Structure 1
Amino acid sequence: MKLRKLAQQMANCRQCLERSGALITQAEHSLKENDHARFLQTARNVAERVAMATASSQVLIPDVNLNEAFDNFALDFSREKKILEGLDYLTAPSPPSIRDELCTASHDTITVHWTSEDEFSVTSYELQYTIYTGQTNFISLYNSVDSWMIVPNIKQNHYTVHGLQSGTRYVFFVKAINQAGSRNSEPARLKTNSQPFKLDPKTAHKKLRLSNDCLTMEKDESSLKKSHTPERFSSTGSYGAAGNVFIDSGCHYWEVLLGASTWYAVGVAYKSAPKNEWSGKNSSSWVLSRCNNNFMVRHNGKEMLVEASHQLRRLGVLLDYDNNSLSFYDAMNSQHLHTFEVSFLLPVAPTFMIWNKSVMILSGLPVPDFSRRPTRAWTGLLTGLG
Structure 2
Amino acid sequence: MSYRASWAPAPKPWRAQKNCWNLPIRRSAHQRMTASLSVTMAPAFRLSLKAKASDSMNHMMVDFTHERNLLQSITFLPVPATPEIHVADCQVFDNTVTVVWTLPEPDSKIDHYILEHRKTNHEGPPRAREDYPWMVVEGIKETEYTLTGVRFDTRYMTFRVKACNKAVAGEFSEPVTLETHAFVFKLDASSSHQNLKVEDLSVEWDSSGGKVAVQDIRKEKNRTNSPMHSPARTAMMSPKRAPSARVGRDRFTAESYTVLGDTMIDAGQHYWEVRFDKESKAFAAGVALRSLGRFDQLGKSNASWCIHLNNWLQQSLTAKHNNKARTLDCSIPDRIGIYCNYEEGTLSFYNSRNKTLLHTFRTKFQQPVIPAFMVWNGSFSVQTGLQVPSIVLSGQKRNSNTSSSNASLT
Q: Give the TM-score range, shorter chain.
A: 0.3 to 0.5
Normalising by structure 2, report the TM-score: 0.45
* Larger relative helix fraction: 1
